[in-house]
Structure 1
Amino acid sequence: MCSHYEAPTATQLEQAFAAAPYEQGKLDLWPGYMGPFLRNRDEPIEPDESQLEVLVGSFGLIPGWSKDTKIARRTYNARSETVAEKPSYRSAWKYAHHCIIPAAAIYEPDWRSGKAIATRIERSDGEPMGIAGLWERWKNPEGETVHSYTMLTVNADDHEFMRNYHRPEDEKRMVVILPKGLYKDWLAAPANESMEFMRRYPADRLAVR
């Protein structure tokens, strides 16, 4: 699971994802904070335009039925095994609201010393991660649209790298980090193909910095 991560700078995001510039906010992100995510545009595009767009939303999915944004503190990660059933996520999953959450690094607690040590984890090649996620839109009491997103996760009990994080007695989880070659496929995939992308990123492609 991941409740703390570092977003790339706007320049890094533009270089890694060929995404249009956006107004950069905080880079150190926790549930409820506003961060960037990428999705395919809803509206038709011109021939020379990118299908990809960058939006800023709440880290933590806010379903349409929610009364306020507080739910984001609990919906920042979605278990891929149950995402289709959980009320908070099932609409976004059903309608394939696929997105990519760009991350320069994620932070996980290492308990091997007997106490939690926050550990910064990156891709070993230094490129930003593209984390598979779901996005949603919500109307606040003023009628304004608020976007939000959640990171999808898979079991990592026997993952050579990620099994070292979180409490020893807890199930080990990890976010779904997409290979770069699957970015377009994930964003365009229909709902009945979503589970095909729920794979564990290779351990040798992750590193601690």
Structure 2
Amino acid sequence: MAFEMPALPYALDALEPAIDAKTMEIHSQKHWAAYTSKLNAAVEGTPDADKSIEEILAGDMSPAVRNNGGGYYNHRLFFSTLKAPSEGNAPTGDLAAAIESDLGGFDAFKESFSNAAATRFGSGWAWLGVLPDGKLCVCSSPNQDNPLMNVDTCDCGCVPILGLDVWEHAYYLNYQNRRPDYIEAFFSVIDWDKVAELYAAAK
């Protein structure tokens, strides 16, 4: 297959109580797997089969590639930036300094990111990303769109380094309609070391 699902770097129950094991199982082994399979079917026998997912998403896409390619990329990023929960979880180093200078500090970032996630109507994503000038931004997008795509549904064009899935399948078993509680819990399981790596690469 052109695109494969990397193994999760933690056990399915490693994110509890923030994200329960059953949700992780369904989310990764069913939803992400389905996007991966459908993306491979959509690009089979086309020039896209030899491109990276980033190259595909930045170009012209069929609806099938847009939806499933976005789903593949978004979930790959989401699952790669999670870890076991910890109190006082926060970034350090260059990333912390950039959040301070570009976004007004960690508390301001949390408020902005939480608002982007909470106010995204229906299904979609909230993003922390790196703009072409190297500065950080916060934005959101619907469905499986993301800021790499040349579409008008995302309110910033950037390289995502952190994404929060606010589709109901990501949280409904545990949180039901309490999306704000899920958003708050998400901050305890962010792998800021991984996000910092992505930030350094994107700059």
TM-score (norm 2): 0.30
Task: Indicate the structure with greater helix content.
Answer: 2
TM-score (norm 1): 0.29
